[in-house]
Structure 1
Amino acid sequence: MQWLRQIIGNFTFVMLVVVLLASVLPARGVWVGYFDALTKGAIALLFFMHGAKLSRKAIVAGAGHWRLHLAIFGCTFVMFPLLGLAFKSLWIALLGDALALGMLYLCALPATVQSAIAFTSIARGNIPAAVCSASASSLLGIFVTPVLVQWTMGKGEGQLALLDAVLKISLQLLLPFLLGHFFRPWLGSWVDRNRSWLKSVDQGSIQLVVYTAFSAAVVGGMWEMVSGQELLLLVLACCVLLGLAIVLTTLLGRVIRFSLEDRIALLFCGSKKSLATGVPMAQVLFAGGALVGPLLLPVMVFHQIQLMVCAVLAQRWGKRA
């Protein structure tokens, strides 16, 4: 087990254990209600802490570079959905309906926050702009992702009306985030001192949501819907999608003639998708439990691939003279 953890990382290793646990011992009966309540509390805590971590100084420092922000938002909310629609028929043929919908859902998600900023920092890119864009992308996704989900998947796929979905996501994600940022003057220094173990709280919240979602999916017969061959094809599809995103964001940065630092921020913010936001959003947008598990598989696979690839790219750029 130790060699596996070194290869894929602790977070992904624990997530694999969580998926295995949910497959063998899914939450059933009265425990479903307990885990649902606990999951909602964990999500609220997760976004409350995100709000408390975000420095207003970083927002002000990075807010002025509007051309870079527009490019990043265009890659996140325009380029990815268009790629999803372009590959939709192929994904359905190769992966089946459930995983194909998961790929479309992946394309509709906002960018990551922590890893995008961390990789931009390692690569010595425009860190203030990355902080501003990644955080704004996460907030915009609360309103944009439900619209993109209905557009790319079709109106019949979402279980909730659009306005109802936006309202519920805002209450579960945006409100705790804003409350956390409001209390930053009092909590900011404490949060900055305890980032190491608070990271474990963040990851634990995500893993709890994954367990709850996969439990419902397993009880609903998810593993009868997804074969081993489809899982291998899913990994290949995620690799191709990430490769295209990296190439297109790189070309866009050169066409606009951004500096190298700005191109680095564009790459790491515009080619990544958020697992932390995607998991709780799926809980709201797709109330049918059997559908949530297959929807999350592409997000989880893409998340791990993007971490490994971006880590290599960041270290390469970070070593430049």
Structure 2
Amino acid sequence: MKFKIDRFILAIIAVIIFAYNVPQYGIEDSGFPISTISSIGFFLIFFFYGLKLSPQQIKSGLYNWKLHVLVQLSTFLFFPLLILMCYPFVQTQEQHSFWLALLFMAALPSTVSSSVVMVSVARGNVPAAIFNASISGIIGIVITPLWVGLFLEKSGTEFDYTSIYINLIIGIILPVILGLSLQRYGHALALKYSKQLTLFDKSVILLVIYKSFAESFYNDIFSSVKLLDFFILFLIVIAIFFTVFYCVGFIATKLKFSTEDKITAQFCGTKKSLVHGTIFYKILFNNSAASSLILLPLMIFHASQIFIISIIASKFAKRESENLK
């Protein structure tokens, strides 16, 4: 069985290499309006998301409530609790920065496109995947700042919830509502050019990643990150993924979920959104000392989840094909 490396992962690596060699365009004093461009880009991402969103599929998914509760608990409770268990072992400021980055990753909502695509490949419950992936982003607007803000306040960093929620409403809710209100005019077009819009989404994410790493390289932030630390962080991220994946699978089995629902629970309940992560990063960690390293665990997790879930989805699909013969 052959597995291709996701092109977006390769693009992220290329952008990081470019940021290392040409960091000057990503800093605030460069004169290049990278922050303004990325803010407009994120507004358009969620506007187009509102155009594509199907209210009918959301309504039809409401009935499978046990599945939805499990996915959302996994996304916003299981993940953060795993990281909180490690908090007593945090001793130094460097360890706290990495721990906070892991908590940020753990508190994020699930992905939309990759969750639905992988559930479809594995022949799971696709409508339920669409429902959970969609509702996760809305829940995350409330839950993610609460998790992160609790520990930013403990570290002495100012955290204005009113300002945070206003920015999230303007940056996410408002464009989604605008997109939903214009569906009669643009829904068909948004679906027709879905691939192009996905390419646009990824381009905006790459821009934010460039800015984050360019600032870090320019200020020599990563000089403190040793190769051993990176390797340990990678192992922690992988361990978190598999712990949640098998716990969700165990609970789904105990609840006597169908195979399709179990696939959906495991696939949607173990994903973390790089799209939401980058926009939350811009809003939650602006001017924070920990912000330079905050995206590192998320990007490791993003690459890992795509690779691992792709393999698992292919195995599920193969098994289902054999059962149908």
Q: TM-score, normalised by structure 1?
A: 0.92
Residue ranges of structure 1 left out of the alignment (5+ in a row): 1-5
Distance 1:297-1:233 versus aligned 2 partners, 3 A rule: same
Distance 1:106-1:46 versus aligned 2 partners, 3 A rule: same
SS in 1 for 2:257: coil
Determine whether 1:132 maps to 2:131. Answer: yes
Q: Which amino acid aligns with 2:21?
A: V
Structure 2 counterparts to residues 1-321 of structure 1, below 5 A: 8-26=5-23, 27-28=26-27, 30-31=29-30, 34-90=33-89, 96-151=95-150, 154-156=153-155, 159-288=158-287, 291-319=290-318, 320=320, 321=323
Q: Judge conservation of contact 1:81–1:108 (CA < 8 Å) in 2.
A: yes
The answer for the alignment partner of 1:3 in structure 2 is none
| 1:6-32 alpha-carbon deviations (Å, 9 max, x no partner) | 853210111111112222222245435
How much has 1:274 moved relative to structure 2? 0.7
Q: Which amino acid aligns with 1:312?
A: I
How much has 1:299 moved relative to structure 2? 0.2
How much has 1:153 moved relative to structure 2? 5.1
Distance 1:239-1:246 versus aligned 2 partners, 3 A rule: same
Identity %: 28
Distance 1:74-1:28 versus aligned 2 partners, 3 A rule: closer
Q: Which amino acid aligns with 1:19?
A: I
| 1:169-192 alpha-carbon deviations (Å, 9 max, x no partner) | 121122112212221221111111
Q: Which amino acid aligns with 2:252?
A: G
Distance 1:316-1:284 versus aligned 2 partners, 3 A rule: same
| 1:28-68 alpha-carbon deviations (Å, 9 max, x no partner) | 45435611111101111111111111112211221221121
Q: Judge conservation of contact 2:153–2:159 (CA < 8 Å) in 1.
A: no
Q: Which amino acid aligns with 2:124?
A: G
How much has 1:155 moved relative to structure 2? 3.8
How much has 1:317 moved relative to structure 2? 1.3
Distance 1:45-1:289 versus aligned 2 partners, 3 A rule: farther
| 1:48-103 alpha-carbon deviations (Å, 9 max, x no partner) | 11111111221122122112111111111111111010123457679733222111
More helix by proportion, 1 or 2?
Answer: 1
Q: Judge conservation of contact 1:72–1:270 (CA < 8 Å) in 2.
A: yes
**For the residues of structure 2 that align with 1:242 and 1:9, how far apart are their CA atoms?**
19
Q: Judge conservation of contact 1:81–1:104 (CA < 8 Å) in 2.
A: yes
Q: TM-score, normalised by structure 2?
A: 0.91
How much has 1:116 moved relative to structure 2? 0.8
Q: Which amino acid aligns with 1:118?
A: V
Q: Judge conservation of contact 2:27–2:211 (CA < 8 Å) in 1.
A: no
**For the residues of structure 1 that align with 2:157 and 2:289, how far apart are their CA atoms?**
13
**For the residues of structure 2 that align with 1:281 and 1:29, how far apart are their CA atoms?**
19
RMSD over equivalenced CA pairs, Å = 2.0
